[in-house]
């Protein structure tokens, strides 16, 4: 797995979305820059993406992407970290909060809400013939990243959701999350859709504000 590590400050792991990579979601939009002075920012290219390995079997994705993140924490000797995930990265982050909450200080779910178990966007998968075999395999494994209602109800990790007000997933993913966990704060970014949201200053500022609040709780 390709990753970067600044090796100073409270650790924050940034997990990018489907068909993107760490640079596309975090470096170019300025998220990495706004966090760099105060946090040990760790970015990674998920399997099937960027400069990481690209298996072509669906069974090599899904929950194995969560295992990759846990393995990276172990490799870096990090017991707990803050997490920021966008889109598919938000699915990975939510799943991690469900199965390994002891590794999380807090979580920011970007461009995503609650993804229940079951088929996820099959029409989009069928429309990806032009994409690589690795990306198609990754998309077929999306249901494996689903979190049950019981798992969602049990999550105790401090969490916010940041999403563009014009993002189609606001209705289909965030509304179900709010119905189950109404106390989780939803931050809607004006004049932003699923693609443009990460480039809005309010997106990165919302992340920084939440992480600063959570990091202050760790200090004695």
Residue whose entry in the numeric block shows the structure tokens 């109800």: 153
What kind of fold does domain 3-215 have according to CATH?
Rossmann fold (3.40.50)
Q: What is the pLDDT of residue 218?
A: 74
Q: What is the pLDDT of residue 180?
A: 95
Helix (H, G, I), strand (E, B) or coil at 148: coil
Q: Which of 194, 215, 163, 195 is nearest to 35 (CA)?
A: 215
Q: What is the pLDDT of residue 122?
A: 47
Residue whose entry in the numeric block shows the structure tokens 């807090």: 106
DSSP letter (8 states) at residue 142:
G
Splitting the chain (220 residues) into consecutive groups of 10 residues, what average pLDDT does each group show? 92 97 97 97 96 93 97 98 97 97 98 69 50 88 92 97 96 92 97 97 98 85
Q: What is the pLDDT of residue 164?
A: 98
Q: What is the pLDDT of residue 132?
A: 86
């Amino acid at each position: 797995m390709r990753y970067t590590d600044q090796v100073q400050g409270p650790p924050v792991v940034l997990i990018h979305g489907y068909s993107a990579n760490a640079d596309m979601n975090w470096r170019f939009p300025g998220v990495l820059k706004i966090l760099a002075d105060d946090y040990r920012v760790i970015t990674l290219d998920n399997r099937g993406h960027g400069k990481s390995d690209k298996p072509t079997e669906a069974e090599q994705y899904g929950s194995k992407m969560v295992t990759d993140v846990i393995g990276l924490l172990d490799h870096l000797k990090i017991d707990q970290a803050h997490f920021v995930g966008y889109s598919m990265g938000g699915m990975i982050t939510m799943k991690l909060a469900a199965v390994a909450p002891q590794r999380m200080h807090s979580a920011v779910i970007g461009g995503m809400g609650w993804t229940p178990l079951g088929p996820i966007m099959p029409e989009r998968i069928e429309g990806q013939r032009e994409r690589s075999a690795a990306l198609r395999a990754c998309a077929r494994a999306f249901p494996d990243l689903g979190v049950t209602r019981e798992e969602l109800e049990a999550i105790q990790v401090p969490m916010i959701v940041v999403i563009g007000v014009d993002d189609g997933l606001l209705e289909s993913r965030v509304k179900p999350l709010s119905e189950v966990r109404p106390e989780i704060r939803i931050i809607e970014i004006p004049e932003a859709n699923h693609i443009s949201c990460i480039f809005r200053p309010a997106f990165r500022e919302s992340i920084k504000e939440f992480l600063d609040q959570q990091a202050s709780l760790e200090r004695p």
